[in-house]
Amino acid sequence: TKRNIFSHFARSSNYNTIHLITMLSGLALSLALSSLAITTNVVEGNNVFTVSLTKRSDEEMVSNFLQMERDALAAMLEAKMEPAVVEEEEKQSEEIVVQDGAYATQRHLLRGSENGDINEGGKDETVAIHDFSNAQYYGSVSIGTPPQSFKVIFDTGSSNLWVPKEGCSHCGYKIFGLGKDKYNHSKSSSYKENGEEFKIVYGSGAVNGFFSKETVTVSDDVSVTGMDFAEVTDAGGLGIGYVMGSFDGIMGLAFSSISIKGKPTFMDLLLEQNVLKEPIFSFYLGDNTEGELTFGGVDEEKYEGEIEYVDLISSTYWEIDVDGISAGDYSMGKTTAIVDSGTSLLTGPKKEVSKLALQVGAKPNMMGQYTMDCEKLGDVPDLTVTINGSVYTVSGRDLVMKAANTCLFAIMGMDIPEGPQWILGDVFMRKYYTVFDYGNERVGFARVK
């Protein structure tokens, strides 16, 4: 039996209060998401194709963070709540309450839950660790015949594909080339009705819709047929960040064991329909240069040395054992981590990150993020992560995002009940070519050139 992991249960008799808290948590964590725009290109080869990645600037990421901080303060004022009250309620929300039968089906949903309704009488509420209200990986995916094009996030922290349908509520409007593209199944000859409910809960609320079956194409001619994907009818749970954001939907790249309704994933169908040469995909995240996501192989021009692999703890998320983490005088022993393309920063337990931040002089704020004096960037120690006996280093300078006079510490504190201790996001993946071996349930790293 595969071990399902990763949930966050909250308990409160006051729904309005807990909803605001989870909304703020979602806003705080939405910065901890990737920040790349994508264009697509097919690389000649035997069932190998590549998606080109373009990195958005640190200036825009920092600007987004500052805007989220202002929005969170406005939400507090509107609710007439003091920060101290939020901290106390947030502490209460971290209590885990597990009901028989609910835990096994909900605890493995990193991005959310298909069963996230608020129960009567202050019972359990399942909420997500992340939402998608900030900039992230987004690239071209086409659905239907003739193809309807969408910008979707390539996310190793979830397993389903969803896009907004025509008439979707809280999905923005297509004006002057901006806004969301929306799927219209009446215009597709390859559409097949399914109708099963799709529901996932993010930190700020739910996203609802229903499943349909379609042909899905990445690049110009790399397609799978009969894929169950979700037509979203209401994306209100993602808030204004989604309405104003650049992406339309999400393409999950985790395993089918955490797929809502157990639907086969995009990778499952690529393999089943013999589209790929090998059951792997690989990320090269260019640092101020163009990057790429390769399906079916690796690009040997993008890394040096050998790829060193480590087996997954379970075929749910891309979770691995970590021997230790250290920086300067700080060290932590054996722990676990998720390698996540959907997270732009590194995250770790709040107490541990607080110790790290203290060393570099970074100061916390209400968003759970740390800022620091830009004049002290040279004092930030290198971070080392030891995995399967190999040491991986991220320089101190790469642990800071700088824009104008604002510097953000690129490690964020986050406690994850019953889940991995750390998340290795883009800050780590930019330094190491990362291979996600779907067939052998392992992940590999090699230093980028």
| Positive/negative CA dihedral, 182, 223, 139, 369 | positive
What is the spatial distance between Cα 213 and Cα 354, in angstroms, rounded to a whole number?
A: 46
Four-CA torsion 343, 103, 259, 208, nearest 10 degrees: -80
* Side chain identity at residue 5, one-letter code: I
- Host H or E run for residue 370: strand 370-372
* Side chain identity at residue 71, one-letter code: D
Count H helices and E strands in the chain, helices first: 8, 29
Q: State whether residue 252 is helix, strand or coil.
A: strand
Q: Which residue among 71, 131, 155, 234 is the active-site one?
A: 155
Residues 6+ apart with CB under 8 A from 407: 371, 372, 373, 374, 377, 400, 401
Sheet architecture: strand order including 363-364? 363-364, 370-372, 406-409, 400-403
Four-CA torsion 61, 67, 70, 76, nearest 10 degrees: -90
Q: CA-based Rg of the chain, rounded to a whole angstrom?
A: 21
Q: State whether residue 429 is helix, strand or coil.
A: helix
Q: Report CA-CA distances (Å) from 173 to 95, 245, 395.
A: 39, 11, 42
| Exposed / middle / buried, residue 420 (Cβ in 10 Å: 0-12, 13-18, 19+) | buried
Structure tokens at 4: 């399902």
Query: Is 220 designated active site?
Result: no
Q: Which residue among 71, 234, 248, 340 is the active-site one?
A: 340
Query: Is 340 designated active site?
Result: yes
Residues 6+ apart with CB under 8 A from 379: 360, 361, 396
- Host H or E run for residue 169: strand 161-169
Please provide residue 315's backbone torsions phi and psi, each rounded to the nearest 5 degrees: -90, 65
Q: Which residues are catalytic?
A: 155, 340
